């Protein structure tokens, strides 16, 4: 069973890496954009070295892995090593199958947009399997260890430096597209990772507490928690309802509140991740007890 799970996991990682390789080869390379990644750096270095992009990416990734093991330690798992070496290998295969690939869209800006969406899809698949494409992640860990910077900020800075490096060999339009694409990549990636799972934390203060709880528990079949709250102005004790709902449930709840109690005080927060064990929803909650937080 474990062997099957491992094979399935590495198949998914291989698929994600293949999608990234397609994005790099067919959209980033033809337009010579140097978006913040090892592949982007390889595109710039290709102008100074008599090697193909895939070979340069392999050398850079292998060097970063060795450097990481020496300076950081064995914090790089098998997945990081696998994807770091697999991506250049897939680029090399695409170079053999589709030599001298032209731009599919014939427009650098359109290439950048296509690259962002395709590469973010591949990256989200890797992140879902707790893997990454290596490269800048290793740089981020090195900067975190020796410059005491957050890994996220370290990776962003390294990515921007790579994007700016395109100024050494390309025109201003390519440089601007590289910097803009590097920035937008983070935004689009967040959407792919969190967009489908994002939930909302809805906090409600209302005089119609029982009716609202009944709607949440029995109509939405969701959970809720009731907290005691004291108003700072009049020192009156009230009950605050807190519920975590998805997009569909949120719209139903807000429509219900606008009709049931237009005077309710409602605050809403975005929730990106929840860890909990789902509880079965009883047809009729025991008398005198409320359904616990789901």
Highest mean pLDDT among 88-102, 140-154, 272-286: 88-102
pLDDT at 74: 65
Please write the tens of the pLDDT for every residue from 71-116.
766 656 677 788 888 999 999 999 999 887 778 888 888 998 998 8
Whole-angstrom distance, CA of residue 18 vs CA of residue 83: 10
pTM: 0.67
Whole-angstrom distance, CA of residue 114 vs CA of residue 91: 18
pLDDT at 5: 81
| Mean pLDDT score across all residues of the chain | 83
Whole-angstrom distance, CA of residue 294 vs CA of residue 42: 48
Percent of the chain with pLDDT over 90: 23
CB 181 within 8 A of CB 163: yes
Mean pLDDT of 174-203: 79
Whole-angstrom distance, CA of residue 265 vs CA of residue 207: 10
């Amino acid at each position: 069973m474990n062997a099957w799970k491992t094979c399935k996991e590495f198949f998914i990682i291989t698929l994600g890496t293949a999608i990234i390789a397609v994005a790099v080869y067919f959209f980033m390379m033809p337009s010579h954009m140097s978006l913040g990644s090892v592949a982007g750096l390889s595109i710039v270095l290709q102008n100074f070295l008599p090697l193909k992009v895939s070979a340069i990416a392999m050398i850079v990734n292998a060097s970063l892995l060795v450097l990481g093991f020496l300076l950081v330690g064995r914090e790089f798992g098998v997945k990081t090593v696998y994807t770091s070496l697999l991506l250049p290998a897939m680029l090399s295969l695409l170079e053999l199958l589709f030599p001298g690939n032209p731009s599919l869209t014939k427009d650098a800006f359109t290439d950048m947009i296509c690259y962002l969406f395709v590469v973010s899809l591949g990256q989200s698949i890797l992140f879902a399997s707790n893997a990454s494409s290596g490269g800048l992640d290793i740089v981020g860990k090195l900067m975190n260890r020796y410059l005491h910077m957050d890994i996220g900020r370290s990776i962003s800075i390294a990515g921007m430096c790579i994007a700016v490096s395109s100024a050494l060999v390309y025109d201003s339009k390519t440089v601007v597209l590289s910097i803009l694409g590097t920035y937008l990549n983070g935004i689009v990636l967040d959407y792919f990772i969190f967009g489908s799972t994002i939930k909302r934390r809805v906090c409600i203060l209302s005089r119609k507490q029982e009716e609202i709880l009944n709607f949440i528990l029995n109509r939405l079949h969701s959970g809720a928690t009731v907290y005691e709250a004291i108003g700072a102005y009049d020192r009156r004790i009230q009950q605050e309802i807190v519920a975590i709902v998805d997009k569909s449930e949120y719209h139903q709840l807000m429509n219900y509140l606008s009709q049931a109690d237009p005077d309710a005080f409602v605050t809403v927060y975005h929730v990106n991740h929840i860890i909990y064990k789902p509880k079965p929803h009883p047809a009729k909650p025991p008398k005198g007890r409320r359904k616990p937080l789901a």
